[in-house]
């Protein structure tokens, strides 16, 4: 049943302020705890053959002043063209390997200053699903500690805080998957910005670096603009945007876009010519 209330503007503002203050206090209390919890490593790489298994470890440290409860679960993730991770439930991605993973222990508690080593088992089936690269994410989630048995006798009720969880990226590449290949599929220039469109055309996880070089066709001087390194998942696309530095003089330039994906013998490149007008001119 919905109860309607009429409040004057002053009372409404006071209630809103009080509600926001309570939310902020709760947020900062949890945020303070979350900042004192650490997990390592941030990513795990498996190379397990079909029908085989492999084990890696995650270490969780409780550097807070309170006892903390934890639960380990697994889910899926992908990445959009901007490179931002997109998380989803286990089994929703076509390349998921989340169901192949088991954590031991999956539920545990840590006293202040304690560490816990989690064993993560990758158990790969002996079928065609194991012949391609797959990935998942392991979540280490904060949960309410148990109350030392002083409950109501109704059994353990785990309360997991979904807002504060730490993700560890997991990658599985079968040894037979050796095709490591990146492609530049497009190079666009608009409003002083370059967009380099790239694709992982192989079957391995690519650790990429991308940059552009602007060479003046009148002076021969070259300016390189770089970005941070990034990982590309097999069969996915990524766009990287480069801004023209404000100190670049006007004139005509040859622009070389490079995708370096770790191959010692070759890189992917694309080239175009542009005209940078005088600043302030249309």
* pLDDT for res 9: 44
The closest alpha carbon to 213, from 248, 186, 264, 174, belongs to: 248
Using CB atoms within 10 Å of the CB of residue 219, give its burial: 0 to 12 exposed, 13 to 18 middle, 19+ buried.
exposed
Task: Specify which residues 172 forms β-bridges with.
Answer: 46, 134
Confidence of residue 163 (pLDDT cuts 50, 70, 90): low
> By the 8 A CB rule, do 254 and 217 touch?
yes
Task: Name residues whose C-beta falls within 8 Å of residue 120's C-beta, 6 or more positions apart in sequence.
Answer: 44, 55, 56, 57, 58, 101, 102, 103, 138, 170
* pLDDT for res 35: 60
Task: Tell me what the mean pLDDT of segment 143-169 comes to.
Answer: 61
Domains and CATH numbers, the chain: 38-172 (2.60.40.10), 182-276 (2.60.40.10)
| Two structure tokens written together for 59 | 């270490």
* pLDDT for res 1: 34
| Two structure tokens written together for 208 | 């990429």
* pLDDT for res 150: 44
Confidence of residue 164 (pLDDT cuts 50, 70, 90): confident
Tell me the whole-structure pTM to 2 decimals: 0.78
Task: Tell me what the mean pLDDT of segment 103-113 comes to.
Answer: 96
CA–CA gap between residue 143 and residue 203 (Å, rounded): 37
**Would you say residue 10 has pLDDT above 70?**
no
CA distances from 87 to 75, 137, 161 (A): 7, 8, 16
The closest alpha carbon to 202, from 227, 176, 223, belongs to: 176
**Phi and psi at residue 16, to the nearest 5°:** -65, -45
Task: Tell me what the mean pLDDT of segment 49-61 comes to.
Answer: 98
What's the number of CA atoms in the CB half-sphere (13 Å) around residue 206?
29
Q: What integer best gives the mean pLDDT of the chain?
A: 85
CA distances from 166 to 32, 48, 138, 157, 211 (A): 14, 25, 8, 21, 31
**Would you say residue 2 has pLDDT above 70?**
no
**Would you say residue 189 has pLDDT above 90?**
yes
Task: Tell me what the mean pLDDT of segment 23-36 comes to.
Answer: 49
**Would you say residue 20 has pLDDT above 50?**
no
Q: Please, what's the b/e burial string for 67-106 (b: 16 or more CB within 10 A of its CB; e: otherwise)?
A: ebbbbbbbbbbbbeeebeeeeeebeebebbbbebbebeee
* pLDDT for res 264: 83
Instruction: Name the helix (H) or strand (E) containing 14.
Output: helix 9-34
Q: What is the pLDDT of residues 142-152, one digit of tens each?
A: 987 766 544 43
> By the 8 A CB rule, do 78 and 92 touch?
no
* pLDDT for res 57: 98
């Amino acid at each position: 049943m919905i109860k309607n209330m009429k409040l004057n503007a002053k009372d409404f503002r006071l209630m809103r302020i009080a509600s926001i203050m309570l939310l902020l206090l709760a947020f900062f209390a949890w945020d303070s705890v979350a900042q004192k919890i650490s997990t390592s490593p941030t990513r795990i790489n498996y190379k397990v053959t079909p029908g085989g298994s492999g084990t890696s470890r995650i270490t969780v440290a409780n550097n807070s002043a309170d006892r903390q409860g934890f639960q380990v679960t697994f889910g899926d993730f992908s990445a959009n063209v901007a490179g931002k991770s997109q998380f989803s439930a286990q089994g929703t991605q076509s390349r998921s390997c989340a169901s192949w993973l088991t954590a031991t222990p999956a539920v545990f508690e840590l006293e202040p200053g304690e560490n816990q080593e989690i064993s993560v088992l990758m158990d790969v089936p002996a079928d065609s699903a194991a012949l391609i690269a797959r990935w998942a994410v392991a979540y280490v989630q904060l949960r309410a500690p148990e109350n030392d048995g002083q409950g109501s006798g109704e059994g353990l009720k785990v309360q997991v805080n979904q807002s504060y969880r730490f993700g560890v990226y997991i990658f599985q590449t079968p040894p037979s998957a050796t095709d490591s290949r990146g492609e530049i599929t497009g190079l666009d220039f608009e409003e002083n910005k370059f967009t380099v469109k790239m694709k992982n055309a192989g079957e391995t996880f690519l650790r990429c670096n991308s940059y552009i070089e602007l060479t003046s066709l009148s002076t021969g001087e070259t300016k390189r603009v770089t970005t941070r390194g990034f990982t590309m998942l097999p069969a996915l696309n990524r766009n990287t945007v480069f801004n023209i530095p404000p100190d670049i003089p006007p004139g005509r330039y040859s622009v070389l876009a490079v995708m370096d994906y770790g191959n010692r013998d070759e890189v992917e490149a694309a080239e175009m010519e542009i005209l940078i007008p005088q600043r302030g001119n249309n």
